[in-house]
Structure 1
């Protein structure tokens, strides 16, 4: 018989096996290790697809006008807090600051003269050497000159701030995402310059159906699984108290601290794992599962024989190498722990016969 004929013959036998729910083997049950099934309490983790967003993001705009003479950072650069992003020509602002300083000095000189005159008149007025009108004029001049100093000081502060605005600084440490200007351009007040976000404080944003809202609100912490397999535990959970009018789902924000993690990037899709209340389940080892095409089965002990028993598998726990049985087995059933080893032993036994 050719290899093709052998394959067709084997496929026919396999199809017959799939159609049968239980197939009996002649191997003795005492020859293999079995496990007696019992119910156990198991958590029901819900896994949601979430996207990483920045908690703190900003677009920096110009607070003065001028021509750009230097740009120190570009898109995708990490920028420390307070670092100079760009410089603008400052001749006009510098002249304004110098003028404000001169005005303040003039106001202070006039105020000193007015205050001295007021003190002299105040001493002479009780003696009758100064008229009431002259005293009133000196008093008013002293008050107005003092206010003029305050106004000049305010103008100096304004001019100094305008001069400082010619050097645009980063409001917080983060990553640059957009640059709206080029060196040599003339910018005006309010024009957008840069956009960026804080890389240290991020959040995972995802949607949950209405039936999950109550359980998620009760959670004290959730697990955020990154694309590289690392997990971050967060207890900062914010469930929106209103639903989206189109999808009828609630948005959830989970804040995470990414200060010590380099693999968390804004815009990435990640997994958020939420543990729901436990339920009673039958869990079997993954080694006990025999998978052939669409047939999922285990080898179950029946009296003194081992039979192939079809099952339906639910949640798989890769950490503990177990799987939940939804149907096909009951508490008290005994199954073969290692289906692959049993299959090899059974084939060897048949060959010897």
Structure 2
């Protein structure tokens, strides 16, 4: 029994020694899979997005041109009124009395003027007397017209169609000339206000197309037309642009709504080369990319000079590339110079999942 145990022990040691002596070398180095892309040329146009606010095309304060107590207000806040609609009325009694006095004085003066003119034709009055009564008739005519106008001004009409925004007084209150009775918003058309940075403002003549979109479901893009702009920056160092949209743009458009503004403009650097931002990595704070040699799948590091960063996740390259290279666009921070990689072939749009 003892001999059997010794033989088993010797056999185990023999197998163990042989196993260690025949150990296999380490696995080959891992070949990393990478996505690659061709270098693009910058397009002729670029788009930028901003946030804008819809405003009424105009808003006015409705006020009387005469003073006195308010007799009636015929609208309430939020009402839509058509052009020429009666908004409010002032107590007209004082102005009716004033018109009656002016009319009586007018009748008296015109009667006297007619008499003097007849006498003047007969050379019975002097030239001075004639000119005096003619001037008096003109003066009283002006006073009569003014009294008529003031009586008419006791009624306040809407100068255009729109919505009543605010009502500042009530029936019976006394108001002076020019005090705003109500605010009227013109909604026949709207304008959009948007603030843009100075770089784009300086090149505003290169803006080719501007559209806005409501922040609601199934909203479509609405074309905008430039109205004007402020040539001085605001407190945020931005320049305000005003764009107009027509009354039939979208029935859901109302003042105060926020909209997404898209501006398409012509690039000044359309000859630049463009690569994805994800293709860039930094070495000693200098931007670099990996270029793949397709013949042997070896990557090499190249220094580049970065230009403008675009809103679509791409960046222009000023120097370091010819334009015909193939670059790595993913996993760039895990690679080493002269490392062999495996290129991941892009999935065909007609063979999604690689089933064909």
**The two structures share one fold, judged by TM-score above 0.5:** yes
The 5 Å alignment of 1:174-253 reads 174-228=162-216, 229-244=219-234, 246-253=235-242
Kindly state the Cα deviation for residue 339 of structure 1 after the two structures are TM-superposed. Answer: 11
* Contact 2:90–2:154, Cα closer than 8 Å, also in 1: yes
* Match in the other structure for 1:328: 329
* Match in the other structure for 1:323: none
User: Greater shift after overlay, 232-241 or 201-210?
Assistant: 232-241
* Match in the other structure for 1:315: 312
Relative to structure 1, the CA distance from residue 241 to residue 142 in structure 2 (aligned partners, 3 Å threshold; closer, same or farther) is same
Partners of 1:276 and 1:39 lie apart in 2 by 19
SS in 2 for 1:114: helix
* Match in the other structure for 2:262: 273
From 159, 164, 170, the equivalent of 2:158 is: 170
* Match in the other structure for 1:99: 101
Pair 1:257-2:246 in alignment? yes
Larger Rg: 2
Q: Deviations over 1:301-321 (max 9, x none)?
A: x99xxxxxxxxx9739xxxxx
From 107, 114, 117, the equivalent of 2:116 is: 114
**TM-score (norm: length of structure 1):** 0.65
Pair 1:337-2:327 in alignment? no
Partners of 1:182 and 1:259 lie apart in 2 by 35
SS in 2 for 1:241: coil
Kindly state the Cα deviation for residue 68 of structure 1 after the two structures are TM-superposed. Answer: 2.4
User: Greater shift after overlay, 96-105 or 226-235?
Assistant: 226-235
Q: How many correspondences in the alignment?
A: 268
Q: Deviations over 1:140-196 (max 9, x none)?
A: 121111111111111111111111111111122111110001123233333220012
Pair 1:152-2:114 in alignment? no
SS in 1 for 2:255: coil
Relative to structure 1, the CA distance from residue 221 to residue 160 in structure 2 (aligned partners, 3 Å threshold; closer, same or farther) is farther
* Match in the other structure for 1:63: 65
Kindly state the Cα deviation for residue 48 of structure 1 after the two structures are TM-superposed. Answer: 0.9
Kindly state the Cα deviation for residue 237 of structure 1 after the two structures are TM-superposed. Answer: 4.5
Kindly state the Cα deviation for residue 47 of structure 1 after the two structures are TM-superposed. Answer: 0.7
Kindly state the Cα deviation for residue 62 of structure 1 after the two structures are TM-superposed. Answer: 2.6
Q: Deviations over 1:321-348 (max 9, x none)?
A: xxxxx9717xx984103599418x59xx
Runs of 4+, deviation exceeding 3 Å:
20-24, 36-43, 278-283, 337-341
From 37, 49, 52, the equivalent of 2:54 is: 52
Partners of 1:53 and 1:92 lie apart in 2 by 40
Relative to structure 1, the CA distance from residue 171 to residue 66 in structure 2 (aligned partners, 3 Å threshold; closer, same or farther) is same
**TM-score (norm: length of structure 2):** 0.65
Kindly state the Cα deviation for residue 119 of structure 1 after the two structures are TM-superposed. Answer: 0.6
SS in 1 for 2:232: strand
Q: RMSD in angstroms over aligned alpha carbons?
A: 3.8
Relative to structure 1, the CA distance from residue 48 to residue 327 in structure 2 (aligned partners, 3 Å threshold; closer, same or farther) is farther
